Structure 1
Amino acid sequence: MLHQLNQIRTFIFDVDGVLTNGNVLVTENGEQLRQFNIKDGYALQLAVKKGYRIVVISGAKSLGVQKRLLGLGITDIFLGVSDKIAVFNKYQVEHHLEPSQMVYVGDDIPDLQVMRLAGLAVCPKDAVEEIKEISHYISPKNGGEGVARDIIEKVLKIQGDWSDIKPSAHDGSL
């Protein structure tokens, strides 16, 4: 797997069950709230700062999710997606990416086919069995509990990009 990590330049994440724990809190007015991990946030913004592509492809559609991701410097955000393969393929072609340069992190059946297209398929420890079976790496972290940080940190360390000369406590959420 170390050889694969050396080639990664693009991280693609699902939201629910990967960047969040998959739980949705519904308020009295019907607003749906999700919880993100701050350590994932640090790794995501550092990867952006270091020139890696961070892409989010999710069936979820939430203004709160979009604001959180934009606050971390992520601009390649595709929400409310019903055909993840079409978005993945279009993005790959537009950015001239080889599958070996891409990692896809998913956790459930809607991610299954698109994960097979990425050079490196990753899932959280609590992913469904079908996803675990096709994953090259199963993180020891559950969704929303540091799985993004886990894979980003591994890739950035292998490529010598993990250190941040001017670390900031600001993660874009303020």
Structure 2
Amino acid sequence: MKNIKLIVLDVDGVLTDGSLYIGSNEVEYKQFNTQDGMGITIAHYAGLKTAIITGRKSEAVAKRAKELKINYVYQGISNKLEVLSELLTELRLKEEEICYMGDDINDLPILKTAGVSFAPDNAVGLVKESVDIVTKHSGGNGAVREMVESILREQTNFEELVHEFIYEKNKVIQ
């Protein structure tokens, strides 16, 4: 985990609990976790880049990604591995420098390619069997935060990083 420079995330089942709420007005609603948001904010503070690659397209995801200043956002993607390969080329990164968290079978190609792979506790069995680490938390309930802290504890003195983050009086987005 010491070499990770880019965290790549799926959305449904990772940043959310996987539930879809579609109103009669055809607007899609998603529930995000503020602790995951803080984890992403701390990851950015530590110098890590972040990306979302998701199969669905949602205004809620675009809004949340903008709030959290996610560096790269790809929605409506059927071939996630192809998009990741293009992103790695653009950023001049190697596969071992990325971490990916996914929860379902469409995430398997990236999970098998990533330097470090994570799945939330609520991931399907085949995914949990294929990843390096399964978090104690489920998607939408702190799994991303748990992953970020695991990475940062390997890369830095985490307590010192948090202390610096707090007292730098950063504008915090959760």
**Kept after mapping to 1: 8 A contact 2:49/2:71:** no
CA shift at 1:167, angstroms? Answer: 5.0
Root-mean-square deviation (CA), in Å?
A: 1.4
Alignment-derived partner of residue 58 in structure 2: 62
Alignment-derived partner of residue 87 in structure 1: 83
- What amino acid does structure 2 have at the position aligned with 1:42? M
Q: Of 23, 30, 47, which residue of structure 2 is paired with 1:27?
A: 23
CA deviation profile, 1:11-61 (whole Å, cap 9, x unmatched)? 000000000000011111011100000000001012122221101000111
Cα distance in 2 for partners of 1:33, 1:168 equals 29
Alignment-derived partner of residue 173 in structure 2: 171
Alignment-derived partner of residue 48 in structure 1: 44
5 Å-filtered alignment, 1:81-160, equals: 81-160=77-156
Cα distance in 2 for partners of 1:66, 1:12 equals 15
What TM-score comes out, normalization by structure 2 length?
0.91
- What amino acid does structure 1 have at the position aligned with 2:52? V
- What amino acid does structure 2 have at the position aligned with 1:171? I
Cα distance in 1 for partners of 2:94, 2:71 equals 20
CA shift at 1:110, angstroms? Answer: 0.7
SS of the residue corresponding to residue 29 of structure 1 reads: coil
Q: Which runs of 5+ in 2 are unaligned?
A: none
CA deviation profile, 1:108-127 (whole Å, cap 9, x unmatched)? 01101111110111000110
**Kept after mapping to 1: 8 A contact 2:5/2:48:** yes
**Kept after mapping to 1: 8 A contact 2:41/2:172:** no
Cα distance in 2 for partners of 1:167, 1:47 equals 16
Cα distance in 2 for partners of 1:95, 1:37 equals 28
SS of the residue corresponding to residue 14 of structure 2 reads: helix
Q: Of 8, 13, 17, which residue of structure 2 is paired with 1:12?
A: 8
Cα distance in 2 for partners of 1:21, 1:167 equals 31
SS of the residue corresponding to residue 12 of structure 2 reads: helix
Alignment-derived partner of residue 77 in structure 1: 73
The alignment covers a number of residue pairs equal to: 168
Q: Which runs of 5+ in 1 are unaligned?
A: none
Cα distance in 2 for partners of 1:10, 1:112 equals 18
CA shift at 1:158, angstroms? Answer: 2.0
Q: What fraction of aligned residue pairs are identical, expressed as a percent? A: 32
Misfit runs of 4+, over 3 Å:
167-170
Cα distance in 1 for partners of 2:6, 2:91 equals 10
Cα distance in 1 for partners of 2:135, 2:88 equals 24
